[in-house]
Amino acid sequence: MPLKITKSCYSCYACETVCPSGAISIVGNLFVIDPAKCSECDDIESPRCIAICPEPGAIIRDNS
């Protein structure tokens, strides 16, 4: 299930620095996750971006 960065992200860059697949980038002034590149760190319980994010709910599993 792909991950998604929500509007509550305040662009601290923490997630971008820990993404091993380079799936997180900034587009305009918003961070986005490329679902084609995201491997969820091969760890269903706690992808690195979610684990390091200081803002609860800024990175979620995208159920859409």
The answer, yes or no, to whether residue 2 has pLDDT greater than 90, is: no
Number of domains in the chain: 1
Give pLDDT, residue 23. Answer: 96
Residue 63 — pLDDT band, cuts 50, 70, 90?
Answer: confident
Q: Which domain holds residue 36?
A: 3-61
Residue 45 — pLDDT band, cuts 50, 70, 90?
Answer: confident
Distance CA 1, CA 14 (A): 21
Residue 46 — pLDDT band, cuts 50, 70, 90?
Answer: confident
Distance CA 41, CA 28 (A): 25
Residue 44 — pLDDT band, cuts 50, 70, 90?
Answer: low
Assign residue 55 the CATH number of its domain: 3.30.70.20
Distance CA 10, CA 12 (A): 6
